[in-house]
């Protein structure tokens, strides 16, 4: 397992994936500087709401798909799956490591978002103490909410040899988020909308899918992760290489 982790790290450490991880947090920080009004009573929560709406509704789901496609890219080129699986490794271990790498990249993105929010707060001179519980809860909640989406996107990325096909599917399914989060019936069960539902502060949102409690939402998220993770693992176990 350690050898597989080291191998995956060597593939990714010099790739553009690290720059991609910083794109959304940086963009959100720029928008926050431009859009945040002066004299807001709770500036930390306000900037978190702006960041979550932009980052978690659009960019984060897209990045999860890109990360999943990138961790499978090398194996789809030149018989990479055959070379990897000819080594003394288990398919379960390979699948777990690749899913772990996707979630590691999501974690880096979330930490960068937190860093840029803090930098924005210091630059703008936000008043009051930093609401660490709200900020960390939002960042961690967004990371957890990406688990089913990461499992699903890894499944699709393993199934399709084309790098563009999984990304096209992800883009098409991300765009309806702005409508689906308004639905209490479908929003909580839609993997592309779950990161936004988990990250946005709940006090000012009492409509659509935001009516669902966080506890119920995370039960749905973990259930989706189990379903998609098991489906992807089963497919990978039976995949001919």
What does the chain come to in residues?
241
pLDDT, block means (10 residues), the chain with 241 residues? 74 78 83 65 80 87 93 78 77 91 95 90 80 91 95 92 85 89 83 90 58 82 95 88 64
Rounded Cα–Cα distance for residues 34 and 14 (Å):
33
Q: Which pLDDT does position 109 carry in this prediction? A: 94
Please give the pLDDT value at position 216.
Answer: 84
The answer to whether 120 touches 33, Cβ cutoff 8 Å, is yes
**Cα 16 from Cα 20, distance rounded (Å):** 6
What's the rounded Cα separation, in Å, for the pair 146 and 77?
A: 27
* Per-residue pLDDT, 167: 87
Residue burial 141-169, b: 16+ Cβ < 10 Å; e: rest: bbbbbbbbbbbbbbbbbbebeeeeebbeb
**Rg, the chain, Cα only:** 19
* Core vs surface per residue 201-231: b (16+ CB within 10 A) or e: beeeeeebbbebeeeebbebbeebbeebbee
Nearest to 47 by CA among 26, 74, 29: 29
> Which residue from 240, 236, 199 is spatially nearest to 82, judged by alpha carbons?
240
Give the pLDDT confidence score for residue 34 in this predicted structure. Answer: 65
Full DSSP string of 213-241: -HHHHHHHHHHHHHHHHHHHHHHHHH---
Rounded CA-CA distance 69/101 in Å is 11
In angstroms, the first-to-last Cα distance of the chain is 21
| Cα–Cα nearest to 47, from 63, 31, 71 | 31
Q: Token match 């707060």: residue?
A: 121
* pLDDT number for residue 207: 47
Among 12, 221, 217, smallest CA distance to 100 is for 12
């Amino acid at each position: 397992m350690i050898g597989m982790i080291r191998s995956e790290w060597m593939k990714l450490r010099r790739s553009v994936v690290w720059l991609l991880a910083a794109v959304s947090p940086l963009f959100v920080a720029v928008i926050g500087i431009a859009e945040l009004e002066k004299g807001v009573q709770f500036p930390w929560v306000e900037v978190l709401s702006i960041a979550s709406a932009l980052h978690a509704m659009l960019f984060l789901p897209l990045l999860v798909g890109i990360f999943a496609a990138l961790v499978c890219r090398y194996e789809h080129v030149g018989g990479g799956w055959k070379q990897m699986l000819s080594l003394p490794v288990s398919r379960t271990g390979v699948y777990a490591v690749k899913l772990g790498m996707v979630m590691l990249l999501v974690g880096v993105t979330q930490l960068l978002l937190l860093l840029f929010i803090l930098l924005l707060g210091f630059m703008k001179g936000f008043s009051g103490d930093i609401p660490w519980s709200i900020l960390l809860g939002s960042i961690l909640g967004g990371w957890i909410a990406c688990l089913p989406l990461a499992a699903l996107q890894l499944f699709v990325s393993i199934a399709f040899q084309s790098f563009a096909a999984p990304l096209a599917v992800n883009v098409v399914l991300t765009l309806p988020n702005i409508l689906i989060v308004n639905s209490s019936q479908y929003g909580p069960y839609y993997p592309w909308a779950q990161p936004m539902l988990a990250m946005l502060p709940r006090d000012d949102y009492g409509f659509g899918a935001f009516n669902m409690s966080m506890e119920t939402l995370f039960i749905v998220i973990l259930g989706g992760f189990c379903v998609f993770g098991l489906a992807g693992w089963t497919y990978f176990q039976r995949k001919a290489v």
